[in-house]
């Protein structure tokens, strides 16, 4: 059962991400948070992991104080959100995408707990499904408007998959991530290379 704490997290996520949209479609960003949360719950994650899923991008994407997040939702939720964060909004100004992603994969590999890895895997499944859907809609030309190339994204998803495979085993969310990664590669990578 989910408690009023879950409802508070849902409202917190909606307030903080309410004006944010997905980059290619203009879909309200909260849809990503809800989908990630749904995957976590379907995988047997408890309320703490579900709340972490709802809030997993709040440090990265929104000017949110770490102490305020910790005070509002406790150390366990804060740890999950921190483990899911490659760099908070302030840190992002001083780091390149490559620096953030390499450091995050390293932290994931060494420090992240099982609940955090479940949320990370669910987040990647959700993001990769959206990307595959966009490739079906728009084709590889969508990368002409993207901040990242297909090869950069492919590298990052492969690195994350390697960590979650090793740490979580072959649970359904990991298998879904494997399948989506193969589909992404088939759709996005130029077959002429």
- Burial, 56: exposed, middle or buried (Cβ in 10 Å; 0-12, 13-18, 19+)? buried
Torsion-angle region of 3 (φ positive above 0: left; ψ -120 to 50: alpha; else: beta): beta
Candidate list 61, 76, 151, 152, residue with the active-site label: 61
| DSSP label at residue 123 | H
- Structural contact between residues 12 and 56, judged by C-beta atoms closer than 8 angstroms: no
Candidate list 7, 8, 57, 60, residue with the active-site label: 60
Token pair of 76, please?
Answer: 């366990």
Nearest to 29 by CA among 21, 37, 41: 21
Residue 60: active-site member: yes
Q: Which residues are catalytic?
A: 60-61
């Amino acid at each position: 059962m989910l408690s009023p704490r879950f409802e508070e997290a849902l409202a917190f996520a909606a307030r903080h991400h309410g004006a944010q949209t997905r980059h290619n479609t203009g879909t309200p960003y909260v849809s990503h948070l809800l989908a990630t949360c749904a995957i976590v719950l379907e995988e047997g994650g408890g309320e703490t992991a579900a709340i972490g899923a709802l809030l997993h991008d709040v440090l990265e994407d929104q000017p949110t104080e770490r102490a305020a997040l910790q005070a509002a939702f406790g150390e366990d939720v804060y740890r999950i959100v921190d483990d899911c964060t490659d760099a908070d909004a302030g840190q992002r100004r001083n780091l390149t995408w490559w620096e953030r992603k390499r450091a995050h994969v390293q932290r994931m590999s060494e420090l992240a707990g099982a609940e955090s890895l479940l949320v990370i895997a669910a987040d990647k499944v959700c993001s990769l499904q959206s990307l595959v859907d966009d490739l079906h809609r728009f084709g590889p030309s969508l990368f002409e408007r993207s901040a990242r190339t297909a090869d950069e994204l492919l590298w990052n998803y492969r690195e994350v998959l390697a960590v979650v495979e090793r740490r979580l085993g072959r649970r359904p969310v990991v298998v879904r991530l494997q399948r989506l990664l193969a589909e992404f590669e088939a759709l996005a990578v130029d077959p002429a290379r």
